[in-house]
Amino acid sequence: MIAVSAKCQQWHLHLPATRMPGPPTQGCCAHDHDCSEADCGPAWSLHRHIDLPNVRCLNEAESGSVRNVFRAWEQRLDTSLPPLVSNEDDGELLIHIPFDGSIRVKAICIIGGTDGTAPAELKAYVNRDDLDFGLVADMPPVQKWDLQEDGHGQIEYPTQIPKFSGIHSLDLHIPRNFGADVTKIHFIGLKGDYTPAKREAVIAVYESRPMPQDHTVPDSHPMAHQPTAREGGAHH
């Protein structure tokens, strides 16, 4: 896998080889991770901690198809599931990804479609559940990347890790593709670490001194009981 240096995140990348030309002031290069399926799989396992039923996407052509793109690294090239596709003549997508614990995202991988349908730009937001296209149009992202057409999951886009640590949800905004009428995504991989959600401790509070009304003793002489006025035995 090729890792795109953090220095490359704000300019359009070209990846004919592992060494990439860049602006003179940036000196950007990519690195081949040379990892096997067994080595890469555990690192890209955050899909297991996604609250999948609550994942949603704005502007998807088929409701719920966004959930198909989150799966195991070993299945990233599986084409048996329908891809996420935007509505016709509108390639913009906004994906909300909630997690079931605390997440640290280190890198993102996206496998898009062919013929210009792959995402060309990605913007990320964290710990928001109220985003729509109107809000993200005016809101600076936590981080953004210029993407490459990647049909095999060979490119990873590193995050600025401190900004993606201890998060509980991630929103991915895709403003544009490479010129097609629709945007297609086959796979989204998230690399990082997971910490289970902490359950609130249940504290039992015990009274320090018993209260008399909570520890009454039954009368040992029932016949000695004198009815009260409330019980219908008032004296005249």
Give 2-196's CATH code, choosing from 2.60.120.470, 1.10.10.10, 3.40.47.10, 3.40.50.300: 2.60.120.470
For 115-150, letters b (16+ CB in 10 Å) and e give ebbbbbebbbbbeeeebeeeebeeeeebbbbebbbb
**3-class DSSP assignment, residue 21:** coil
* Residue in this structure with the two tokens 């990873």, named with its chain if needed: 156
Question: Bridge-partner residues for 30, per DSSP?
Answer: 4
Neighbouring C-beta atoms of residue 81, cutoff 10 Å: 14
Which is more confidently placed, 205 or 180?
180
Ordered by start, the domain boundaries in the chain are 2-196
Instruction: Give, as one character, the DSSP assignment of residue 86.
Output: B
| 189-218: pLDDT as tens digits | 999 999 887 755 444 444 445 555 555 555
Q: Select from 105, 106, 95 the least CA-distant residue to 167.
A: 105
Query: What is the mean pLDDT of the segment spanning 81-109?
Result: 97
Say if CB 193 and CB 105 are below 8 A apart: no
Q: The pTM is what?
A: 0.72
- Quick one: pLDDT at residue 210? 55
98-155 per-position pLDDT tens digit:
999 999 999 999 999 999 999 999 999 999 999 999 999 999 999 999 999 999 999 9
For position 198, what pLDDT does the model report? 72
Number of H-type helices and E-type strands within the chain: 2, 10
